Amino acid sequence: MTANKHAWSDRKSFHNFTLPGEIARRSTIANSLGMGVFRLRITFHGATRRVTGSAHLLEVGSRRILLDCGLFDSDKNEVDGPNRSLTFDPRELDAVVVSHAHSDHIGRLPLLTRQGYRGPIFVTHATGDILSVMLRDSARIKREDARNASLLDPYAEPVEPLFDMYDVECVIDALVRRPYQEPIQILDDVTLTYHNAGHILGSAIVQLDVSESGGAPRRFVFTGDLGRRDMGLLPDPEIVRDIDFLVSESTYGGRTLVGYDTLLKQLSAIVARAIRLKGKIVIPAFSLGRTQRMVYCLQELFDVYKVRPIPVYVDSPLAYRLTEIHRAHKEAYTPAARRLMENDEAYFGSKYVEYCMSWDDSRRLNHLPGPMAIIASSGMCDAGRIRHHLRHVVEDPDNAIVIVSYQAEGTLGRKIAEGAEQLRILDQDLDLNAAVYVLDGFSGHADKDDLAWWYEQTGGGYDRAFIVHGEPESMEALAPVLQSHSKNPVVVPELLSTYEL
């Protein structure tokens, strides 16, 4: 394997892709040894019967391709617990293919470079831009987490950060940026094509075509995270046909979410209430994706549906940096969204929207009168500036909290969504009197109907189909839907289980 790594060391050559001689030679040796070079095999290293930790290892003969390398949710009491060790040897990988830049898909990439991976990491153009911001931010947080954990017990060994900035820079150096719909040969018998998944900016469905000389090509498809249909800003997920092997996400595989028109009506009623009561609307939102979607929806309400505008504050420097990337990828949006944003002063930033960068900007909002909307992170309210906005608004019934994304069990966001009477925020016990609205239709994930539609459009007829990236109930609900498109029983794999394809 070591000789092979040198073949990849000149990263500039990835753009004009040439087959490294070392890999071709290794295939031939493996073939002559009767090792079944074109054996296709998959092992699931994460996102099995849970949402996080996406990482699937595809073996094509003796070559190894890792699909995603995401973070697992970890217990707060155990710094980075399940993320500390990889369940494969990164030095034995030949290529890494990333579906999109959410941390549950990219968060452990720096562990690969830290532990010796020197090959290419394939991404779409926008994913490359977002990933660089997200992982640098993550390295800073990991350093602080480790420092804080070390302070808890001054006599214990200092806690090492999960990875550092150097590991992240190695990841960024290894990126090979690809457009959608343009096949590229990534190994001698493997071609990669990205299709727009419509989930977040840059998100992709991964298509790998494996062609044995003389034999029929076989098509492996990994959905990554699929977006919803008809959501205004991003286009519907693209369709891939003639799939032999499918690995499908299932986050909302057991639910039917309300449509975009209904969501806009609900949001419009919440804005009208804030105007009437001079209240504040606080929207906890992830800096990546959900923040930009909510800004766009409010812009649409004001400009297209002529709802009386209120000031909108986006209180997150990270969200601002990510919004800059969203502005640089105008080609990514639906024609209707482009028209709307071009007519306004700027993409994701109009006369109604202000981005708060400093703590002073953020604190100023507490003293401004309503009506207004504040969008801040973290999306589940466990960290970040959202907590101090919540502390200021929860006790006043004229205010509203709008939940627009999934809230994991045990988080402050979950308690709010479930209507707890009392909340503990930043060491203060507060009564929850503000109105709470749960609009989970704003999710970036396909629901059961969207997934059924996508399978139908692909033409079905899969040889094998696997369900990942969901809670067990969602997987169970989705399995019969997927089964009607699969020739063999649908598999819900266990962690570290391997299947011959």
Cα three-residue angle 399-278-419, rounded to 5 degrees: 10
Shortest Å distance, C-beta 297 to Zn ion? 19
Question: Considering only 101-109, 131-139, 272-280, 386-394, which stretch makes contact with Zn ion by CB under 5 A?
Answer: 101-109
Number of residues that bind Zn ion (CB under 5 A): 3
Provide the 3-class DSSP secondary structure of residue 190: strand
Contact call for residue 450 and Zn ion (CB under 5 A): no
Would you say 91 and 1 are in contact if contact means Cβ atoms under 8 Å apart?
yes
Shortest Å distance, C-beta 48 to Zn ion? 13
Q: What's at 374, amino acid-wise?
A: I
Q: Which is nearer to Zn ion, 107 or 120 (CB)?
A: 107
Shortest Å distance, C-beta 364 to Zn ion? 33
Selected from 45, 102, 228, 321, the binder of Zn ion by CB under 5 A is 102
Q: Which is nearer to Zn ion, 104 or 300 (CB)?
A: 104
Q: Which is nearer to Zn ion, 189 or 225 (CB)?
A: 225
Q: Which is nearer to Zn ion, 231 or 282 (CB)?
A: 231
List b or e across 112-121, with b for residues whose CB sees 16 or more CB atoms inside 10 angstroms.
Answer: bbbeebbbbb
Would you say 99 and 68 are in contact if contact means Cβ atoms under 8 Å apart?
yes
Shortest Å distance, C-beta 208 to Zn ion? 19
Q: Which is nearer to Zn ion, 45 or 102 (CB)?
A: 102
Q: Which is nearer to Zn ion, 125 or 280 (CB)?
A: 125
Q: Which is nearer to Zn ion, 413 or 444 (CB)?
A: 444
Q: What's at 355, amino acid-wise?
A: Y
Shortest Å distance, C-beta 180 to Zn ion? 17
Shortest Å distance, C-beta 329 to Zn ion? 17
Distance CA 54, CA 105 (A): 5
Distance CA 270, CA 273 (A): 5
Cα three-residue angle 176-179-180, rounded to 5 degrees: 130
Selected from 94, 225, 447, 450, the binder of Zn ion by CB under 5 A is 225
Residue 174 CB burial class (10 angstroms; 0-12, 13-18, ≥19): buried
Distance CA 132, CA 147 (A): 23
Question: Considering only 30-38, 98-106, 313-321, 352-360, which stretch makes contact with Zn ion by CB under 5 A?
Answer: 98-106
Distance CA 128, CA 190 (A): 22
Tokens 């109930």 sit on residue: 473
Distance CA 226, CA 228 (A): 7
Question: Considering only 209-217, 220-228, 331-339, 378-386, which stretch makes contact with Zn ion by CB under 5 A?
Answer: 220-228
The helix-helix angle for 260-277 and 290-303 (nearest 10°) equals: 70
Three-class secondary structure assignment of 148-159: HHHHHCCCCCCC
Shortest Å distance, C-beta 203 to Zn ion? 7
Q: Which is nearer to Zn ion, 70 or 371 (CB)?
A: 70
Q: Which is nearer to Zn ion, 354 or 382 (CB)?
A: 382
Q: What are phi and psi of 135, to 5 degrees?
A: -75, -35
Question: Considering only 96-104, 207-215, 405-413, 481-489, which stretch makes contact with Zn ion by CB under 5 A?
Answer: 96-104
Distance CA 432, CA 395 (A): 5
Shortest Å distance, C-beta 482 to Zn ion? 18
Shortest Å distance, C-beta 225 to Zn ion? 4
Q: How far is CA 216 from CA 38, 102, 219, 232, in A?
A: 12, 35, 10, 39
Question: Considering only 97-105, 123-131, 210-218, 362-370, which stretch makes contact with Zn ion by CB under 5 A?
Answer: 97-105
Selected from 68, 80, 104, 129, the binder of Zn ion by CB under 5 A is 104
- Interaction mask 246-285, Zn ion, x per CB under 5 A: ----------------------------------------
Contact call for residue 188 and Zn ion (CB under 5 A): no
The DSSP string of 83-130 is: GSS-SS-GGG-SEEE----SHHHHTTHHHHHHTT--S-EEEEHHHHHH
Q: How far is CA 134 from CA 5, 101, 107, 415, 424, in A?
A: 27, 8, 9, 27, 29
Shortest Å distance, C-beta 101 to Zn ion? 8
Q: Which is nearer to Zn ion, 126 or 301 (CB)?
A: 126
Contact call for residue 315 and Zn ion (CB under 5 A): no
Q: How far is CA 488 from CA 106, 422, 461, 462, 485, in A?
A: 31, 50, 9, 8, 9
Question: Considering only 217-225, 229-237, 401-409, 454-462, which stretch makes contact with Zn ion by CB under 5 A?
Answer: 217-225
Shortest Å distance, C-beta 38 to Zn ion? 30
Question: Considering only 25-33, 222-230, 357-365, 386-394, which stretch makes contact with Zn ion by CB under 5 A?
Answer: 222-230
Contact call for residue 50 and Zn ion (CB under 5 A): no
**Residue numbers of the site for Zn ion (CB under 5 A)?**
102, 104, 225
